[in-house]
Structure 1
Amino acid sequence: MERQLTDKVTLRHGAVLNDRMVMAPMVTLSGTANGEVTQEQVDYYGRRSQVAGMIIVEATYIHPNGHTFKGHLGMSNDHYIPGMKKLAAVIKKNGAKAILQLHHGGREAATYYDHGGIPLAPSDLDYQHNAHSSIDYPVQEMTLEQIHNIVKEYGAATKRAIQAGFDGIEIHGANHYLLQQFFSALTNHRTDEYGGNLANRMRLDLEIVDEVVRVVHEYGSKEFIIGIRISPNEIHGDRVGFDFKENQELIKQLNTKDIDYVHISGLTANSLSFRNYPAGQKETYTQLYKDVLSPDIKLITCGSVFSVDDAKEAAEQADLVGIAREALIEPDYAKKLHAGKASEIVTTIDPTTFDLLMFPETLKGIFTTDIDKDDNGKEKHGYFAGSPLPNIEAVRK
């Protein structure tokens, strides 16, 4: 039977999603300097409470030394719980599941550096003088004690997410942040049990999953959702951090864990679309990972899902479909699908209704100004270049 985007989806522990659509996590750069939720963010997520059956809140640091972005949200102590309760409640008000993405920037923690710290990394590599790196600050190699503490911090942040009323958490293991840095042979040169062969390089991922599962079993509801996001590959020309075969081995290990979903990120240089194939393969990355994933665990794919037809095509390869750009442009995406109004889904920016999208001011600045650049045109620490939105030029003018 052909899958419908409006199909209800039951996850392995009983949580029921209203449809196959997922709002992918996107950093808004709009928390306070100390990582607290702002009213702008509550309004932004509230406006998108009917964009998808599951909404994943942007990357949230589990320890201050993982502070990566301007306005990066925090969940590193109980102080953050009241603000996070507001986010969870506003997302859930129309029946969507609220998921909090837990994150550590590792070497990418530029804001932590600006606050006086030295970012952590798997290995003490000289990124400042590396032609392939944009990092202009030193990093420090993590000790075993620091690694073990990071594992515990993921568990502690999970407990806080439960207390704040979230329906689940997503472990951020993608996009060149700390967990991917450990998994990648390019950035992990360790010689202890967390480096070297593939089994050692995936150890941190699996230990964090185990700790999160332990905490959820102790403090969470039976239906609490656990997911992990990974990049489809790390290939930069002839420089390979990991390929699809190594990712398949990681997924086989994740099959032994009590998790609900695996989320394949679309944000790598060579894999911007759910349709992309590894060189020499007849199946897409999405299909190759679905081939080895346990049927008990759902797969989310994303990347270049711009139209409803794109979403339908993606749903034939994976269980759930992540949208990012479309979630920015069309806050009523799933609402219109359920109402039989797919033809009315907006796919381009209309300057006359732009303010109704409720973008926080800093996020708005990413798309409409050069707020992310310094006077020399260089990207500022803690910012990122926004992906072009269709017809955004009309707003910039």
Structure 2
Amino acid sequence: MNLFENYTFPNGISLRNRIVMAPMTNYSSNADGTVSDEEVAYYARRSNGVGMVVTACTYVAENGKGFPGQFAGYADQFIPSLKRVADAIHEGGAKAVLQIYHGGRRSIPEEVPNGELVSASDVAFPGNVTPRPLTIEEIKEIINAYGETTRRAIEAGYDGVEIHGANTYLLQQFFSGYTNRRTDEYGGSIENRMRFPLEIVDEVKRVVEKYATKPFVVGYRFSPEEEEETGITMDQTVKLVDALADKGLTYLHVSQTEFFTKPHRFSGDKNKSRVEILLETINGRTPFIGVGSIYSLEDAEKASESGIDLLALGRELLIEPDWVKKAEAGDHNISTEMDQTKQKELVIPDPMWKMLNRPGWIPGMG
């Protein structure tokens, strides 16, 4: 495929190219949960080339905040704040997609009501307090909260939402046999463990049908596998993705560090990459976004040959905000390592810059 050609989703929403900015936490919002000026500038700087921007995750319930400096979407008072990001992205010519999530057991005790964490079961995240299992009533309330945040995204002018079912947050905590020890209809069998994320998909789609006056993106992001013995396997992910592909979503978006990673635990052909397995599972039912350590134009071209519909770049757009412009022009001198003297020029907020310095995360840093 040509990465730089227009791409139109089945629902009619058109992107100017097939490059997506992956969602990345930036730790840079105001203490009251509103978007900061630094964040707005950060998104504006990176919206000039890509076809679509998926924002950092915004929490749908007050007890779902997973990071300091995270912007909120759990109440109508945040609509003007959410709109600032959508407007900044649109000014650069990209489509704006709000990623929505709940941190579950990975939320921050100091920043949630009464310091109480909730999850599928009482399995603590290492170093964090033990969460309380959600009641059935609370599960229904969180499903509703995803719908309400979707309504706010529509009112704030976004082109869509991405349901964050990846990176060990609440939806993944329900899907994983490691973190879900429930014995009710939301636990036990894989069908029961899928129930919560699939009901959220249904609710978000219902809200879109009710409130959106034009085509609206509903994407879903997932992590393929977990390390724990009772955690998610590639076989289980294939079952989830198969169910999601039947839901009429705008796209599915894998979350992994390396694009060509092969499965760790899989009963099928382990010589195939996860991306190959996922594409076979989806079988053309819904568009698929690939991601994972794509830095150079050569990296992107190789990934594009896999059969994916769209390619997401994350860390590379921190290093090189003009990646699309340079790559489209055939510039093979694209920066693929961070120039630590250019924080201001790259418009990376101070709190995010500090977090990027962890070893091995960003080439050229740490």
- Give the TM-score of the pair, scaled to structure 2: 0.94
1:277 corresponds, among 252, 259, 262, to 262
The correspondence for 1:334, drawn from 300, 321, 324, is 324
Match of 1:382 in 2: none
Change (3 A) 1:32 1:143: same
112 and 260 in structure 1: CA distance in 2 versus 1, 3 angstrom threshold = farther
For each residue in 1:1-37, what CA deviation from the matched residue of structure 2 results, as whole angstroms up to 9, or x when unmatched?
A: xx11102211110111111111110010011122110
The alpha-carbon deviation at position 322 of structure 1 amounts to: 1.2
Task: Give CA-to-partner distance per residue, 1:138-192, whole Å, 9 cap, x none.
Answer: 2101000000000000000000000001111000000110000000000101001
Amino acid at match of 1:240: T
1:348 counterpart (314, 326, 337): 337
* CA contact 2:343–2:353 (8 Å) conserved in 1: no
Quote the Cα distance in structure 1 between the aligned partners of 2:192 and 2:340. 51
Q: Residues of 2 paired with 1:361 and 1:285: CA distance? A: 35
The question of whether the paired residues in 1 share the 8 Å contact of 2:252 and 2:286 is answered with yes
Looking at structure 1, the residues matched to 101 and 209 of structure 2 have their Cα atoms a distance apart, in angstroms, of 21
Among the aligned pairs, what percent are the same residue? 39
Gapped regions of structure 1 (runs ≥ 5): 128-132, 267-271, 369-384
Q: Is structure 2 residue 235 aligned with structure 1 residue 245?
A: yes
What aligned pairs does 1:108-123 form with structure 2 within 5 A after superposition?
108-111=106-109, 116-123=114-121
Give 3-state SS (helix, strand or coil) of 1:73's partner: coil
CA separation in 2, counterparts of 1:386 and 1:59? 23
* Matched-pair contact (CA < 8 Å) for 1:66–1:112: no
Corresponding residue of 1:47 = 45
CA contact (8 A) 2:109 2:129 kept: no
Following TM superposition, by how much is the alpha carbon of 1:63 offset from its aligned partner in structure 2, in angstroms? 0.5
Q: Secondary structure at the match of 2:279?
A: helix
Query: Once the 2 structures are TM-superposed, how far is the Cα of residue 115 of structure 1 from its aligned partner?
Result: 5.7
CA drift of 1:121 comes to 0.8
* Offset, 1:387: 5.0
Alignment partners' CA distance in 2, 1:231 and 1:176: 8
Q: Is the 8 A contact 2:30 2:69 kept in 1?
A: yes
Specify the alignment match of 1:86 in structure 2.
Answer: 84
- What RMSD in Å do the two structures reach over aligned CA positions? 1.7
Deviation per residue, 1:353-388 (Å, 9 max, x gap): 3321111110112235xxxxxxxxxxxxxxxx5753
- In structure 2, what is the equivalent of residue 378 of structure 1? none
* 2:230 aligned counterpart, secondary structure: strand
1:229 aligned counterpart, secondary structure: strand
Aligned residue pairs: how many?
Answer: 361
Contact 1:170–1:228 under 8 Å retained in 2: yes
- Report the counterpart of residue 361 of structure 2 in structure 1: 388
1:229 aligns with 2:221: yes
Asked if structure 1 preserves the Cα contact closer than 8 Å seen for 2:64 and 2:112, the reply is: no
For the residues of structure 2 that align with 1:196 and 1:296, how far apart are their CA atoms? 28
**Native 8 Å contact 1:68 1:112 kept in 2:** no
TM-score by length of structure 1 reads 0.87
CA distance in 2, matches of 1:221, 1:337: 35
1:278 aligned partner, one-letter code: P
Which residue, out of 84, 92, 98, partners 1:100? 98
Distance in 1 between the 2:341 and 2:115 partners? 44
Query: Which residues in structure 2 correspond to 1:286-365 (within 5 Å)?
Result: 286-317=275-306, 318-338=308-328, 340-365=329-354
Whether the 8 Å CA contact 2:108–2:115 is kept in 1: the answer is no
Q: Give the one of 152, 168, 179 matched to 1:187.
A: 179
Tell me which residue corresponds to 1:60: 58
Q: Which amino acid aligns with 1:196?
A: G
CA offsets, 1:323-379, max 9 Å, x none?
Answer: 1110111111122233x14324221222443321111110112235xxxxxxxxxxx
